[in-house]
Amino acid sequence: MKTYTKKEEMESTLMEKHVPVIKAPEKVKAGEEFEVIINIGENVPHPNRVEHHIKWIQVFAEVEGRSYNPVHIATFDFGPTFAEPKVKFRMKLEKSLSLIVLEYCNLHGVWENSVKIEVE
């Protein structure tokens, strides 16, 4: 499956509307809750019409030292025109990981971004 990332060479406004922006701490304490915010089209709003919208956001983790990765964390499903593609949730970790976010635009496909979170 082809996913697009911010590393792809393409029109910058297309990237700004689609690449998930992930706000999460770089370091957390083991077992303590923290907040993650994911926004699609943070600086350039993504259209939210029936004919062009973000359908879903999925969150996965590649956990350090785990034999089988990735681990599914969450899926957020959006209805066009009503739900905006921005989510906030809380989680806690025991091991460091890469948080991977995929989003699906009904016209432009699947886009990906990731951040590393270190457990102290």
Domains identified in the chain and CATH numbers: 12-119 (2.60.40.730)
Per-residue pLDDT at 25 exceeds 90: yes
Q: How far apart are CA 93 and CA 91, in angstroms?
A: 7
Q: What is the mean pLDDT of residues 57-62?
A: 98
Kindly name the residue from 8, 16, 62, 84 that is annotated as catalytic: 16
H/E element holding 15?
helix 12-18
- Given a cut of 80, whether residue 30 has pLDDT beyond it is yes
Q: Is 16 a catalytic residue?
A: yes
**pLDDT > 80? residue 5:** no
Q: Has 72 been annotated as catalytic?
A: no
Among 9-18, 23-32, 57-66, 103-112, which stretch is predicted with the lowest mean pLDDT? 9-18
Look at residue 10 and tell me whether its pLDDT is greater than 80: no
Phi, psi of 9 (to 5 degrees): -90, 105
User: Global pTM?
Assistant: 0.91
Whether pLDDT at 120 is above 60: yes
Q: In the structure encoding, which two tokens stand for residue 63, read together?
A: 């956990």
Bigger pLDDT: 5 or 98?
Answer: 98
Catalytic residue check, 11: no
Q: What is the pLDDT of residue 3?
A: 78
Give the residue-averaged pLDDT of 64-91. Answer: 96
Q: Which of 18, 53, 103, 112 is catalytic?
A: 18
- What distance in Å separates the CA atoms of residue 50 and residue 106, rounded to the nearest whole number? 9
Residue type, 72: H
- pLDDT value of residue 2: 74
Tokens (6 digits) for 23 = 């706000």
